[in-house]
A and B are shown apart, each in its own frame.
Chain A
Amino acid sequence: MEWQREWKPLALMVVVFLAVYHLPVGIPRFDNAIQEALELVRWYAREHVLLCLIPAFFIAGAIAVFVSQASVLKYLGAGANKVLAYGVASVSGTVLAVCSCTVLPLFAGIYRMGAGLGPAAAFLYAGPAINVLAIVLTARVLGAEMGIARAVAAIAFSIVIGLAMHWIFRKEEQEKQLAQAAQPQVESSRPLWQNALFFGAMIGILVFANWGGGEGGGFWSLVAAYRWWLTSLLALLLGIMLMFWFGLPKGQVLLAGAPALVLALVFPSQPTLAFIAGFIGLSLLLGRREDENGTWFKESWDFAKQILPLLLLGVLVAGLLLGRPGQEGLIPSEWVSRAVGDNSLGANFFASLVGAFMYFATLTEIPILQGLIGNGMHKGPALALLLAGPALSLPNMLVIRSLIGTLKTVIFIALVVVMATISGLLYGALF
């Protein structure tokens, strides 16, 4: 036998066998953790997939297709205005970093051929935290407050980190020979205001369909009472835009919207049915086309295909280890509350450091954090973990090191950990 090649499957087999052999079935904590994992997955499937993730995938897909990346990259190129470059780098993650595999190549590009180390570092820090899907799901699962805090802190601190990196290595930056990156020329097929209204309508559908909280009266509950009317109105507007601005055949758009309308009239108490029918109609309308509308569907589908399996796995693992909010999984709540249960410097630092080294697949940081908060994690360290987590992981540190060298990488990591700690402390103290 070729031991040099066969030792890997053998080792794997032994590990799996030992794990299964000692499987702690019947021990209450383990059985309970399995139950928690399944309950959590069901809760996500019922509460977050249909109304939240599906529209978010369509929005992310539309951003990838209809927002001109070239017009954003222009501000991050070699000849770009330096002050502007920091601002653009810190917010462009919303448009550019919808897929986690685009963050590192863009970082390399901005560093080597574009605006330089500072903006590149700012982009690397903010990008993963402020992509549309991340903000939407954070706000939905962990609360609007946390979603906004995540976005605002990521943007603000990315500029600080970028400037610090630039200042520390300012001599090198001056000597660097810049190669000009080729800028792809993309012609825009419709004016900016039309695109803005189009995205506004889609984001509005997402926001109103998920509008919660009917209690307490006032503006919030008023909107909650009429949320499906608002959603329908925006869906209607979206249909009209697709007909007149996106060049889709009018008959087909009407046909695609008809089942949703019928379901809404026949089952007014089940608005989710009409909502799903609307998205199926949209998918059928877009899916078979070859033009940019077809690409829109393809991009959305790619996001769903890429993110959903990982998220399912992440939710299962989070449920297994931490349980649902208020319940325990494999890890005792006491450990969590002892390590990160208050808003101390130590707790924030610990959360930042762990977040920096740990690998989170796209969006899985959210169920994990939800579990941790449910087990007594304080809001401050939670934000710290959320900021340091997706920006860095051990595998991507190694890639970053190969791009910018050991010293710069170490300083970048240190800055991220320090900034995340400070943001956590501030947030924990204020809210």
Chain B
Amino acid sequence: MEIKVCGPDCAKCHETERVVREALDEAGVTAQVVKVSDFNEIAKLGVFTTPAVVIDGQIKCSGKTPTKKEVMAWIGG
């Protein structure tokens, strides 16, 4: 599973990355977490609003920091 966290270096984007990593830890799921901060790359993924979480090419959320519960549900933990 590949998880992309999209967003420039802003507070909410770091928060999102932290939430995703913590959710992975707690669920005991291993996945590759990639931080995407280049705007061109973000646009190519089809993401309009950041922070966004893209799991295996599918946009799970965009424009807000997800809660740990939501991330758990996406990664099936």
Contacts and interface: CB of A to CB of B under 8 A. Distances in A.
A interface SS class: helix
Contacts of A110: 48
A399 B39 contact: yes
Among B13, B50, B63: residue with most chain A CB under 10 A: B63
Contacts of A106: 48-49
Interface residues of B, number: 26
A105 B42 contact: yes
B77 interface: no
A112 interface: yes
Contact of B69 (A109, A112, A182, A290): A290
A109 B43 contact: yes
A184 B49 CA distance: 10
A102 B64 contact: no
B39 A105 contact: yes
B35 interface: no
A105 B49 contact: yes
Contacts of B49: 69, 73, 96, 102, 105-106, 109
B59 interface: yes
A412 to B, nearest CB: 15
A129 B51 CA distance: 21
Given A108-B40, A402-B40, A403-B39, A302 B46 contact: no
A364 interface: no
Interface of A: 64-65, 69, 73, 96, 99-102, 104-106, 108-114, 179-184, 290, 295, 298-299, 302, 305-306, 399, 402-403
25 contacts: A65-B64, A99-B12, A101-B8, A101-B10, A101-B11, A105-B8, A105-B43, A105-B49, A109-B43, A109-B48, A110-B48, A112-B44, A113-B46, A179-B44, A179-B46, A180-B46, A181-B47, A181-B48, A182-B46, A183-B48, A184-B62, A295-B64, A295-B67, A299-B64, A403-B39
Interface of B: 6-8, 10-13, 15, 39-40, 42-44, 46-50, 59, 61-65, 67, 69
